[in-house]
Each structure stands twice: as C-alpha cells, then as structure tokens.
Amino acid sequence: MRSAGAHSQICSGGGWVARLMRILERRWQGPLKQPVWLSVALAWAAILCGWGCYQGPGGGPSLKTPVERAQETGLRVGLIALDGAQWEAVERLLERGELPNTAKLLEGGLHGELNSHSQQTDAELLWSEAFTGRRTPGHGLQGIAELVGSKRWRPVNATQRRVLSLWNVLGELGHACTLVGFPVTWPAERIRGNLVSERFAGHLMQYWVPLVDSGPLAFPPELNQRLLPQRPKPQEFARSSMASIVNVGDGEWRESLALRPLPGHRWSTLRFALAAQFANEEVFGNLLREAPANFQALYLGALDPVSEVFWNRNCPEQFGRAPEEWRPAADPVSGLLRRFDATLGSLLEQLGPNGIILVVSTFGFEPKGNGAYTVSSELIPPGTLLDPPDKIEMGVWAERRARGFYLAGGAALRTGIGPQLEPVDLFPLILRLLGAPIPWDLDGELARDPAGPAAQKLFEAEFLNNFEVRRLRSFEDWWNRTDYLGDQVESALETTYRFKLDPRRSQLNVFR
C-alpha cells in the first residue's frame, strides 16, 4: 500500500534522480560524457515524477490524497436492489394505487433505463460492475463459476475481485456502510460498518451440494458470531408468511414442503426464496436501527427465481390469455413488489430529509413460452418433497433479459426522466453523492465526464455548483484490495462444489 508520504517522495523526484544517475554512470562509463547521462537521468526522473503526480486528463500535479480531495455533502444514500423486476409490472400496480411509496419516489425523483454494456444478465457480474465501476472482466470476475479439476466447480467469490469495491473506498473516506445479501460478497471482508454476505440466507437457493462455508458470513466478527444461529431454516418458515405474498391452498402449501428447492418447481422455489429474502430484510432493519450508516444497501433476491416459475400468472396476456385473467392475489410477483414498496417506505423514513434513495433492477424477464409439464412423484428422490402429490407440476415460464431500470430521489437529484445508465455508472454516482473524488480509470459515461450531459440530467444545478468534480488517477494508487481480505483467500479457494451438469442455475439437475 502506498502512503501519502511515499506518494509525496515520488512527486518530489529528488531520490529517483540521484538513484538513476548512479545506475547510468555505472552502465555508461568511458565514452559517455557527464552531460548526456545527466540528461537521461533527469528525463527518467521527470517521467517517474509525472506518473506519481498524474491525476488524469486535466488533473495536473497534486499531492492531495483521496481523503483530502473528498467533500462533505451531508447526504446519506440508500440502495435497494430489485433484480428481476419488470417495469411494466411495476407500472400496473402503480396505476392501481398499490405502490404508494414507489409513487411518492417517482413524483419527487427520476427514473430511467439501466442496461448492461455487454447484455449481461448474471447478477454476480452485474453487481460486481456496479460496485467497482469496471465492466466485466475488468473487475476480475470472468463468469459465475470456474472449473476446478474435471468435476468440481467453484462459485465466484469476493476474493476474486482484483480492484477496490465501493465500500472499501467509502470506508477509507470515513463513511460507515451497511450491506446485506449482495452477490459475491462472501467471504465477508473488512469494512467500516456491517457486511452480511449472500451466503447468510442465499444458501437456501443454491442447487449445488454439499454446501460448505469455510469463510465468514458477515463482518465484523462479532456480527458473524451473532448471525450464525439466526441463519434461516426452511422448516421454520410459516404458512402465514407465504400467505402475505400470495394466496396458498392446502395442497400448494404441502407441495412447498421440501428439503431444497427443485429447479422448475413453483412452490418449493417460492418457499425457499421467500425464507431467504425475509431473513435478509430482518437483519437489514435491525442493523440500521443499531447503527445508521451513510451508505446502506439491501439486496431483495426473491423476484428473480420466483419470476421464472410464476411469470404466466403475472403476464397472462403473453401466453395467449386475456389480460383480465390476471389475479393479483394469486400472483406472487405482484405480492413481492408490494412487499418491496413497504421496505422502500421504511428506508425512506430512516434516511430522513438528507437521504438519497436508489432502486435498481439490473435485469428483467421475458416470456419463454409454455414451459409447463408434469412429472410423477416417483421420479423425485425420496424425501425431497415431504408430502408430494401423485403428479407434480413443473416448468419455467420466463427467462432473463438484459433490460433493467432505476428509480432515484432526493434533494440533490432532478425529477422526471433520467439518462440511460449502465451498472458501472452506479459507482461514480454514489461517490459523487457522498463527496468522494472520481477516478479516471473507471468505465462508463459518468466516470468519463462527471459534469457532462448525463450528470446534468441527474443532479440539481445547485448541487453541481456547490460541489465541484474532483478527480484522481486511481484509488488503487493509494489502497490495496488485498488489505481488506485478510486470511480469507485460502479458505475461499478451498470451497468447491460438485455439480450434476452445468453450473448455470437454469441448467442444473439435482436429481440423483
């Protein structure tokens, strides 16, 4: 890690000049005259000095550290990740008046499209882009899993990111952070605040077996120890909790009782997905009450798997049926959107008048055709479904599409329709809101031109005038990514799983 003192020494250039003079004098003794080697040495010293001081185009030489470049905006930022949400489904509920907090956010904020530059639909890669400001594979991840040997796969993990994450930077600048449930945050790393990784509750929706967590689920260590006994157990998920999302009959409830979610099976998927999301919501709420943070983010992950198997109930018109056949009470996609709206209201209240709220869906869904089929319960491994019917309905009705959206509101932001963004733009957007400098080595329009047309459509003119854009070459010049990981790298690399087929969740076969 380079300290401010080391950076200053590089910029001074004096130590490098003397060292290069000695090297060149030894190498070119005899025919080389002193003025020549002195000129060469000074030229190299100038290059090195420029490298140490360079802050990017227009940046000029500066000895200021990132902390010295930061500004105090007085804002707090809250982020809700709603992956899998389709804007048309949100609009329909808005028209019915069933999303009052979302309507309030839209009335006083802005919304726009959020599309991946590479048409990605894997949450692991999209949120790695959002939290590092680098497009895939610039952040270090190549895919969602890697082959180890001939039959074992290792899901991607936080140790494979080779650049700083948003919470690394914000922590160094003095901002406390709270994050719960985001992909590729396990093993939980050192953070100023609280980090609960996706493995705390996400293990319920993993189709690989066996699951072995050899790294910490949360940070700090005392939080990890406190949460271990609180990991959600599917057998403790009550019918009343599922009924808060969708009407559930006796047969459907019995069919949901499973040891693990079956790919393409509606009711076990719904039960496990809800158990995981409800647990993350509870932990997030408790942490915010205990220790409010300047940046707080919650990942709501149930919409993704639930939409795949219930999309025909949310959009009957896409499957040759009349739109009037849509029944909100029987549609868990609508039920999850209503629950999100309640979570949004709680976060808006907690953030207060200086709060900025961001709601982000990095991908949506489109119909896959009639994916329904039935299988005999005799084909299901004994004990997987605890009370299976004779015939079990299976099917996947939708697939991901690389089209998302964002909602944003707060005192520093404009209202109306915002610019089209991509996930990497979230990194400089949040940095700007919290007064952090913007590095030159990021991807995306907001990083290239943080005062340009996109920024002018996002930020109020008063905010742009009061808080100038401050740049620097790279955060990695000052802080080292590995310093936040400790001894977790080896434990993460030891964790592998045996898949039946392909590591992509949609192609897994968990049946023996």
Question: For residue 82, what pLDDT band results from cuts at 50, 70 and 90?
Answer: very high
Tell which residue, 256, 287, 334, 337, has the closest CA to residue 82. Answer: 337
Residue 212 pLDDT: 53
Mean per-residue pLDDT, 123-141 = 94
Tell which residue, 40, 10, 11, 9, has the closest CA to residue 23. Answer: 40
Is the pLDDT at 30 greater than 90? The verdict is no
Assess contact for 231 and 322: CB atoms under 8 A: no
pLDDT in tens, 299-323: 999 999 999 999 989 988 888 888 8
pLDDT in tens, 452-495: 999 999 999 999 999 999 999 999 999 998 888 876 655 555 55
Mean per-residue pLDDT, 278-290 = 96
Mean per-residue pLDDT, 251-273 = 85
Tell which residue, 272, 270, 84, 301, has the closest CA to residue 185. Answer: 301
Residue 352, both tokens: 């207060």
DSSP 5-40: HHHHHHHH-HHHHHHHHHHHHHHT-SSS-HHHHHHH
Residue 413 pLDDT: 97
- Mean pLDDT across the chain: 82
Mean per-residue pLDDT, 383-409 = 82
Is the pLDDT at 48 greater than 60? The verdict is no
Assess contact for 363 and 400: CB atoms under 8 A: yes
Question: Residue 273: phi, psi to the nearest 5?
Answer: -65, -40
Assess contact for 191 and 169: CB atoms under 8 A: no
Tell which residue, 312, 249, 307, has the closest CA to residue 273. Answer: 307
Mean per-residue pLDDT, 70-89 = 96
Residue 51, both tokens: 């490298």
Residue spans per domain, the chain: 4-53, 78-507
Question: Residue 269: phi, psi to the nearest 5?
Answer: -60, -45
Report the percent of the chain where pLDDT is more than 90. 55
Question: For residue 254, what pLDDT band results from cuts at 50, 70 and 90?
Answer: confident
pLDDT in tens, 221-240: 999 999 988 888 877 889 99
Residue 497 pLDDT: 47
Is the pLDDT at 111 greater than 90? The verdict is yes
Its CATH class, for the domain covering 78-507, is: alpha beta
pLDDT in tens, 2-13: 443 333 333 333
Segment among 61-65, 146-150, 238-242 with least mean pLDDT:
61-65
Residue 305: burial class (beta carbons within 10 Å; 0-12, 13-18, 19+): buried
pTM of the model: 0.84
Is the pLDDT at 17 greater than 80? The verdict is no
pLDDT in tens, 322-357: 888 899 899 999 999 999 999 999 999 999 999 999
Question: For residue 146, what pLDDT band results from cuts at 50, 70 and 90?
Answer: confident
Q: Could you tell me the end-to-end alpha-carbon distance of the chain, in angstroms, rounded to an integer?
A: 49
CB atoms within 10 A of CB 2: 13
CA distances from 428 to 71, 404, 512 (A): 14, 19, 47
Residue 25 pLDDT: 47
Is the pLDDT at 259 greater than 90? The verdict is no
CA distances from 218 to 73, 133, 382 (A): 29, 24, 35
